[in-house]
Amino acid sequence: MAIDSRVRERLVRTVASAKSEVRAVLRARIVLAAADGIANGAIARELEVSVNTVRKWRGRFAALGPDGLRDAERSGRPKIYGPEVRVAIVATAASMPRHPEATWSHRAVAQHVAGACLVSVSASQVGRILAGLGLKPHKVRGWLTRRDTPDFWQRASAVCALYLDPPEGAVVLSIDEKTAIAARSRRHPGRPPRPGEPARQEFEYRRHGTASLVAALDVRTGEVLTEVIARNNAATFTAFLDQLDQAIAPGKAIHVVLDNGSSHTAKHTKACYAVPPPAW
């Protein structure tokens, strides 16, 4: 059996490639051996297949060329649902569910499609169709739409520059509050790690109410100054700033970075620092 040089090169690459399927390599080796004039029986013994297998792929190649070495199309089970059902499933999964549901489940999609198309479809079939398209209506990822503030990038650039290169001799503080922290203690002591075993920690705990605190991080040194607070309001915030002013050595310039929390932008805070201290 004679084969074209380009076809032979293609079959040789298939045999040599580590990514080729085993069945594709076997069929290519059968054709190459037949092209070298080797008898069917010898090819079957060399490749440890039946003579009928050799005959089959030699005949397929002789009739159809390289395309004959591919698997023949199979009819398979006939489709139960028409394209309109698949479109309805996708359209349902891509829409917002009715109140009060937050997300679509496969069962809910199947029920909705059954009512819209008058076709009974199983939840598992809905799952297979959606999986084939990469649709996952049961998953929700949140995002935050930032307000249109024209000077945002300039302000962010200034803060980053302050963090990366603080002024010499100045103190850069990042300040924020953390409210309603759960105060808990373990009911039983933990166990330290042992050879071949990780440390163990009892999951049961006791509740001791909540706590709130305000903290200032020194960006240069990593030192944190904290205080437990009873209320998160402007008076508490300005009192904390007064403590910072007293704790920091006189003569040092102080740069404060904070968010737009209500206590930071309140009238009381603005009134207290309408004329900031010399160091601030």
The residue-averaged pLDDT of 162-178 equals 93
Backbone torsion region of residue 243, taken as left when φ is above 0, otherwise alpha when ψ lies between -120 and 50, otherwise beta: alpha
* 194-232 residue pLDDT tens: 999 999 999 899 999 999 999 999 999 999 999 999 999
Q: What is the pLDDT of residue 4?
A: 86
Residue 253 near residue 167, CB atoms below 8 Å: yes
* 40-54 residue pLDDT tens: 999 999 999 999 999
For 29, other C-beta atoms within 10 Å of its C-beta total 19
Sheet with 224-229, edge to edge strand ranges: 224-229, 205-218, 171-186, 254-257
- The half-sphere exposure of 7 on its side-chain side, counting CA atoms within 13 A, is 17
Task: Name the pLDDT band for 280 (thresholds 50, 70, 90).
Answer: low
- The half-sphere exposure of 206 on its side-chain side, counting CA atoms within 13 A, is 6
Residue 224 near residue 216, CB atoms below 8 Å: yes
> Residue 77 pLDDT more than 80?
no
Tokens describing residue 249: 């050595």
Helix (H) / strand (E) element for 156: namely helix 152-164
Helix (H) / strand (E) element for 177: namely strand 171-186
**CA dist., res. 11 & res. 28, Å (int):** 5
Q: What is the pLDDT of residue 277?
A: 65
- The half-sphere exposure of 137 on its side-chain side, counting CA atoms within 13 A, is 25
